Amino acid sequence: MEELQESNRPEPVRSRPVFLSVLCIMTFIGSGFIFFSFLFVWAFYRLILEMADLPQFQMPGIEIFKNSPRWVFFAGAVFYGASFIGAILIWHLKKAGFHVYTLAQIALLFLTSLFMYPGGLPSGELLFSLFFVLLYAMHLRFMK
């Protein structure tokens, strides 16, 4: 009888720590914005390349864009979309979201280091990704 009563008890409601909520919101904003940016560049790649040759569009970093193949922007959009989905799962305290987010960040690092920055990945991008993965990892105990 005692076993039956214990099994009928509802699980305690898990609450998301405030800092985890802040991390997720930052990821929603960052990954969401870059997802749409990469998708836009992929969709209008030829037009943007033509505009990039105009004198008024000459700016630092434009060469990186001009030397990157179109498919890289589509792949980047997919990986940033996966990062966004991972953050949604983390928001709902699903541990699988951490794994999705982390794999997306690793894929993005490889993608950008191989095709956008063939001379080497900027250290800021690497540190930023690593920092967010570590901050999410610190909250794994709250996820199921």
User: By three-state DSSP, how is residue 61 classified?
Assistant: coil
- State the pLDDT at residue 9: 66
- State the pLDDT at residue 3: 55
- What does the DSSP assignment read for 1-30? -HHHHHHTSPPPPP---HHHHHHHHHHHHH
The pTM is what?
0.84
User: By three-state DSSP, how is residue 51 classified?
Assistant: helix
The C-alpha angle 12, 15, 20, rounded to 5 degrees, equals 150
- State the pLDDT at residue 93: 97
- State the pLDDT at residue 89: 98
Cβ distance 62 to 54 under 8 Å? no
- State the pLDDT at residue 10: 63
- State the pLDDT at residue 46: 93
- State the pLDDT at residue 11: 61
pLDDT in tens, the chain (144 residues): 455 555 566 665 678 999 999 999 999 999 999 999 999 999 999 998 888 888 887 887 778 888 889 999 999 999 999 999 999 999 999 999 999 999 999 999 999 888 887 766 677 788 999 999 999 999 999 999
